[in-house]
């Protein structure tokens, strides 16, 4: 069975663009897999457990669509191997990293296991996932959440964290 996997790529250490390009090449080299589309790279503020942190090195993010015959767990193993190949260290949750590869969606499949959650549990609230995904697949849907276009619009309609309830800022209290 062939599936389209949505992979989010991010890097905020080293030569970010070269790392992301190399990762895309490695994704396409996975067994029984080929790249269907890759978004442009989007610069974003680092996101930490405590929220956005402009003091941390900025990220480059993007999304790739991968056509694959691997099962989701085999693909996850492949993603981790590619991260390791690029010097990924897992010292701190949501810490700086040379490469982060997240399996966002795997067709319409839904998985909730200790090793893997698909769709990714926070994808629907992440502009840096939704915007590049929308760029390469504007008709996409995220299982359990709806159309990417609608999710992105709703996300961008909300006031920034800490913006308060200023009606001029584009919204009221949530």
* CATH number of the structural domain spanning residue 92: 3.30.70.560
83-130 residue pLDDT tens = 999 887 766 666 688 899 999 999 999 999 999 999 999 999 999 999
- Domain range holding 116? 3-120
Q: What pTM did the predictor assign?
A: 0.86
Please provide the average confidence, as pLDDT, over all residues in the chain. Answer: 88
| Domain assignment of residue 157, yes or no | no
CA distances from 100 to 15, 119, 130, 131, 133 (A): 14, 16, 16, 17, 16
| Domain assignment of residue 24, yes or no | yes
**Residues forming the active site:** 88, 97, 100, 102
User: How far is Cα 140 from Cα 138, in angstroms, rounded to an integer?
Assistant: 6
């Amino acid at each position: 069975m062939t599936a389209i996997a949505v992979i989010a790529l991010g890097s905020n250490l080293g030569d970010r663009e070269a790392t992301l390009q190399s990762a895309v090449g490695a994704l396409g080299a996975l067994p029984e897999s080929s790249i269907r589309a890759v978004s442009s790279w989007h610069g974003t503020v680092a996101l930490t457990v405590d929220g956005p942190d402009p003091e941390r090195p900025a990220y480059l993010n993007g999304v790739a669509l991968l056509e694959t015959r691997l099962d989701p767990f085999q693909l996850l193993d492949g993603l981790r191997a590619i991260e390791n190949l690029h010097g990924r260290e897992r010292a701190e949750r949501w810490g700086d990293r040379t490469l982060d590869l997240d399996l966002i969606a795997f067709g319409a499949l839904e998985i909730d296991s200790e090793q893997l959650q698909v769709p990714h549990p926070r994808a629907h609230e992440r502009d840096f996932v939704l915007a590049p995904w929308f760029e390469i697949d504007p008709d996409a849907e995220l299982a359990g959440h709806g159309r990417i276009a609608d999710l992105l619009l709703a996300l961008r309609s909300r006031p920034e964290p800490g913006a308060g309830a200023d009606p001029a800022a584009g919204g009221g209290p949530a």
